[in-house]
Copies of this chain bind each other. A is one copy, B any other.
Amino acid sequence: MSNLADRIERHLKRILDDSQQGYIILRRGMLAAEFSCVPSQINYVLSTRFTVERGYLVESRRGGGGYLRIVRLGSTTDRQLHQAMRELIGEQISQERAYNLIERLLNDKLVTIREAEILRCVLSRESLGGETLQRDILRARLLKNTFIILCREDLA
């Protein structure tokens, strides 16, 4: 049914959830062997699913004793998160990166599924229309403005 990349993603998220420390350390080669795939498949999963926008950080080390370390960026306090988000968004943002951010908000339960869908809809290429650059700028503004609302505690 679902593809390899998705299965590896789920597996990593599961053990990440189970881990107390908020991060996991593993061998790329081992993981690849467990899933009977080439090692670079792991890199593919990491670079498409464990991005900063989605709230993850990946470190690694080569050579003997090398490893991968996947850190889940915690549900920071509102103010920190707000600042971090503003920086991640910047003056313009692509649909893909915006969707990744929404994914993270969803993961951290800062938005409901419906809210996430509304945001995705509003920030979609299709809805925004116009030129790419203008669209990316508009998207950044919308996302940053909306974010203020999501942080409002009086709306819980």
Contact = CB atoms under 8 A, between A and B. Distances in A.
Contacts of A142: 121-122, 127-128
Given A115-B118, A117-B155, A3 B129 contact: no
Interface string A36-67: 00000000000000000000000000001100
Nearest to A134: B130
Interface string A117-156: 1110110101111000000001001100110111010010
Number of copies: 2
Contacts of A113: 155
B115 A129 contact: no
26 contacts: A2-B65, A3-B64, A3-B65, A4-B64, A4-B65, A6-B65, A114-B115, A114-B149, A114-B155, A117-B152, A117-B155, A118-B118, A118-B149, A118-B150, A121-B142, A121-B145, A121-B148, A121-B149, A122-B122, A122-B145, A122-B146, A124-B145, A127-B142, A128-B138, A128-B142, A129-B138
Interface of A: 1-6, 64-65, 113-115, 117-119, 121-122, 124, 126-129, 138, 141-142, 145-146, 148-150, 152, 155
